[in-house]
Structure 1
Amino acid sequence: MPPIQFTNCRLCIGGNLLSSPLTIGANGLIIPNSPLSQDTLIVDLKGAIVSPGFLELQINGALGFHFARYEDSESYKAGVSTLAQYLPSTGVTGFYPTVPTVSPDVFHSALPCLKPSEAPDSASVLGAHVEGPFLAPSKRGAHDAANMHLPTNSSLEAIYGKANLMQSIRIVTLAPELPGALEHIEALRKSYDIHVSMGHSAATHEDGIAAMKAGATILTHVFNAMNPLHHREPGLPGLISDSNPPYFTIIADAIHLHPRVVGIAYRASPTHCILITDSIELSGLPDGIHPGHAQIPWNQVKSGNKVTIENTDTLIGTTIGLDECVRNLMKWAEIPVEEAVKCVTENVANAMGLQDRGKLEQGRRGDFVILGDDGVIKETWILGKRAV
């Protein structure tokens, strides 16, 4: 593949728009804009905006496939591959497949299939996000309480498998107030270099501070599945306004959070705000009634982005795409696209210590999204090749 230089474009860098070409080398990485080799292809983007490829930190499934459902290695890997091919249509070029609370045998079987990997025209699998089983039963949401564990009673190795801790898992969500949780946080960070997020938790503000001292650096879908912000006990949400706050994820779908709350959270710390979908397996499927599964043993009704249990108002989850989350943040926080995309690119890269993607910098991957000023995706490119 010859080098490609994209001209007449505006690059999203640090929340600003920079009028500059973007040049991708033959190896798919970003290279200097000059000098150019004679075989360089020139592509005029006609004033379009270029963002780094979007990074999805929490996604449970799409197109009928859910990361919690494991039958055999072959079908599971096929499901991961199908989802990886689908995600670039929403601007996503890298994602952390999320496995909620399941039994240890499912963790042991599924996690080897979620090691970091990549395939042509597909979003990269960046490693697993394990959400559970060390969660507070009172804040379990749709998680299976029968499979939850106390940290003092179960080792990380017994639950996940040592090989998976070393090779597959990149982030764990747990409740920091549980007995033994702080020791697990320290072990995850120091022994395995795994990021720890606090969530599905009844923790107090002090519990959160103690967890951060132990090594936790992220909050999982802040305000959801945790004690609310109270004027006498700010809980985990109160951490987002600290001078050195944790990174925090929000679901900008107007289902999990009111639009005004999304705006408040973003403005508390624009450099630490991360958008996630937390979308379930009905993402990408048509509206209507869909069958349940082991975790949700009832028919599911999909209406727009909202999924409920049939004949009830009980929320199961959302099916929103990450690109729509970006557009919602633009509207609700009243910010331009170049600021909003930081929450799905640079902020994620910083939170997860990614050095190869998430920013339009020399030496990083040529993964990027071409956008209009309205945040609508026109094209998605992966390693200098158009995927969508």
Structure 2
Amino acid sequence: MRYFIKADHFLLENKVVDKGYLLIENGIFSSIVHDVSSEDNVVDWSGFSVAPGLFDTHIHGIDGYDIMDGTEEAVKKISISLAARGVTRFLPTTLTSSSEDLNKAIMAVKSMVQQGLPGAQSEGIFLEGPYFTETHKGAQNEKYFKDPSLEEFNEWQKLADGMIRKIALAPERTGTQEFIRSVKRSGVQVSIAHTDADYVCCEEAIENGANNFVHLYNGMKGMHHREPGTVGSALRSKNSFVEIICDGLHVHPEVAALTYQLKQDRLMLITDCMRAGGMPDGEYTLGEFPVAITDGVARTETGSLAGSTLELIDGIKNLCEWTKEELTDIWHLASLTPAKSLGFESKFGSIAEGKKADYVVLNSNLEVECTAVNGKVIYSRE
């Protein structure tokens, strides 16, 4: 299939192109031209902007569903819900839980991917846990915490048919450094999370292959001028990616803006959204924990933040406001940077020739009018 998109603005990696026609051929981005013939198939989005599809690499659920439900329906509904919010790719994310529940979640994702997801596409599974520490457990269930086991992980990976793309762990646990080296060699990305690791331990983990810090500042040892801690390692490392939940609650706006100054395109926007995203205030669950939503804020019974109800596009809007940076620069922190963190930047993440035609059509209020994956529309506001 070959067609052109006519729009007022196109958000490219380093610039905005005004007034043109973006060619899409067989689901792949081609060039932007300023003239077309009367015989060309043109989809007219005059008055609107076209941006790359968003990629949420850390999301548990939305609209009442959660990956840990362990059902095909949950995975399917999350895929559809994300498409309506401009997300074209995502990593279904698990929680620390029993082996039985993790097996169910993995099998549900695998089954739905094999059948074909109707909305946003899964780019693999993200195991958030269970190799964490109690000190910064957050909303993870500590009764399932354990030291990493390569044998156990390989069983999960076998069950997933190789779909586990990323795992988060606390690097101070016994045997973790060798575990990082082993899974990294197999092509799995390793993240640091829910940890009390000091600076030296984190640096060793990075040397062994860890390349990302999960929801920076939350669930980890903070920075002190005599002990840089986990946060100090994240900010000091030139090549490591850091995730931020830009809802104004998990991280203060000024700290988020400072982090952008320090990390630039190594800052990755995520939601860490749970099932209450897009839902009214009330009582919900996150894994085995009851969670209360008040004014859109998710908290456990002890008052701890329990994931978020953030939409990725709102995180973009927030960081734009806090940093006063151009939209195209911040937008790519939720599209191209996530792709880079997994080694997918040559496939998608930006509007560039040869990449998969994942795009979002936006109105002047940055509301999603249309979402497409591989050049095929998967959501239309009308």
Aligned residues: 374
Alpha-carbon separation, structure 2, partners of 1:376 and 1:165: 35
Aligned equivalent of 1:177: 172
Alpha-carbon separation, structure 2, partners of 1:80 and 1:165: 14
Query: Structure 2 vs 1, CA of residues 105 and 283 (structure 1 numbering), >3 Å: closer, same or farther?
Result: same
Aligned equivalent of 2:109: 114
Higher strand fraction (1 or 2): 2
The one-letter code of the counterpart of 2:142 is A
State yes or no: 1:334 paired with 2:324: yes
Aligned equivalent of 1:348: 338
Alpha-carbon separation, structure 1, partners of 2:370 and 2:236: 37
The one-letter code of the counterpart of 2:133 is A
TM-score between the two structures when normalised by the length of structure 1? 0.89
**Deviation of residue 248 (structure 1)?**
0.7
Q: Secondary structure at the match of 1:99?
A: coil
Greater CA drift, 339-348 or 165-174: 165-174
State yes or no: 1:285 paired with 2:276: no
Aligned equivalent of 1:367: 358
Alpha-carbon separation, structure 1, partners of 2:251 and 2:363: 26
Aligned equivalent of 2:243: 249
Q: Secondary structure at the match of 1:315?
A: coil
Q: Secondary structure at the match of 2:225?
A: coil
Aligned equivalent of 2:141: 144
**Deviation of residue 33 (structure 1)?**
4.7
Aligned equivalent of 2:93: 98
**Deviation of residue 222 (structure 1)?**
0.6
**Deviation of residue 121 (structure 1)?**
4.7
Alpha-carbon separation, structure 2, partners of 1:108 and 1:376: 37
Aligned equivalent of 1:73: none
Q: How does 1:1-388 map to 2 (within 5 A)?
A: 2-19=1-18, 20-25=20-25, 27-33=26-32, 40-70=40-70, 76-115=71-110, 119=116, 121-151=118-148, 154-157=149-152, 160-164=155-159, 167-190=162-185, 192-242=186-236, 244-287=238-281, 289-292=282-285, 295-296=288-289, 298=290, 300-309=291-300, 313-354=303-344, 355-372=346-363, 374-386=365-377, 387-388=379-380
Greater CA drift, 355-364 or 43-52: 43-52
Alpha-carbon separation, structure 2, partners of 1:340 and 1:373: 16
The Cα offsets for residues 46-73 of structure 1, whole Å up to 9 and x where unpaired, read as 3533211000010111122222233xxx
Query: Structure 2 vs 1, CA of residues 120 and 208 (structure 1 numbering), >3 Å: closer, same or farther?
Result: closer
Query: Structure 2 vs 1, CA of residues 295 and 243 (structure 1 numbering), >3 Å: closer, same or farther?
Result: closer
Alpha-carbon separation, structure 2, partners of 1:97 and 1:120: 12
**Deviation of residue 80 (structure 1)?**
0.3
Alpha-carbon separation, structure 1, partners of 2:151 and 2:366: 41
Alpha-carbon separation, structure 1, partners of 2:197 and 2:242: 15
Alpha-carbon separation, structure 1, partners of 2:284 and 2:53: 33
Question: How many percent of aligned residue pairs carry the same amino acid?
Answer: 26
Q: Secondary structure at the match of 1:143?
A: coil
Q: Secondary structure at the match of 1:269?
A: helix
Alpha-carbon separation, structure 1, partners of 2:303 and 2:237: 39
Query: Structure 2 vs 1, CA of residues 232 and 169 (structure 1 numbering), >3 Å: closer, same or farther?
Result: same
CA contact (8 A) 1:156 1:184 kept: no
Alpha-carbon separation, structure 1, partners of 2:154 and 2:96: 11
The one-letter code of the counterpart of 1:377 is V
Alpha-carbon separation, structure 2, partners of 1:342 and 1:367: 13
TM-score between the two structures when normalised by the length of structure 2? 0.90
CA contact (8 A) 2:76 2:118 kept: no
Query: Structure 2 vs 1, CA of residues 226 and 118 (structure 1 numbering), >3 Å: closer, same or farther?
Result: farther
Query: Structure 2 vs 1, CA of residues 108 and 187 (structure 1 numbering), >3 Å: closer, same or farther?
Result: same
The one-letter code of the counterpart of 1:170 is R
Greater CA drift, 357-366 or 122-131: 357-366
Alpha-carbon separation, structure 2, partners of 1:157 and 1:37: 59
Query: Structure 2 vs 1, CA of residues 120 and 69 (structure 1 numbering), >3 Å: closer, same or farther?
Result: closer
The one-letter code of the counterpart of 1:330 is C
CA contact (8 A) 2:138 2:304 kept: no
Query: Structure 2 vs 1, CA of residues 290 and 232 (structure 1 numbering), >3 Å: closer, same or farther?
Result: same
Greater CA drift, 362-371 or 34-43: 34-43
Alpha-carbon separation, structure 2, partners of 1:270 and 1:126: 24
Gaps of 5+ in 2: none
Alpha-carbon separation, structure 1, partners of 2:351 and 2:81: 23
Query: Structure 2 vs 1, CA of residues 164 and 237 (structure 1 numbering), >3 Å: closer, same or farther?
Result: farther
Alpha-carbon separation, structure 2, partners of 1:23 and 1:268: 36
CA contact (8 A) 1:218 1:246 kept: yes
Query: Structure 2 vs 1, CA of residues 162 and 48 (structure 1 numbering), >3 Å: closer, same or farther?
Result: closer
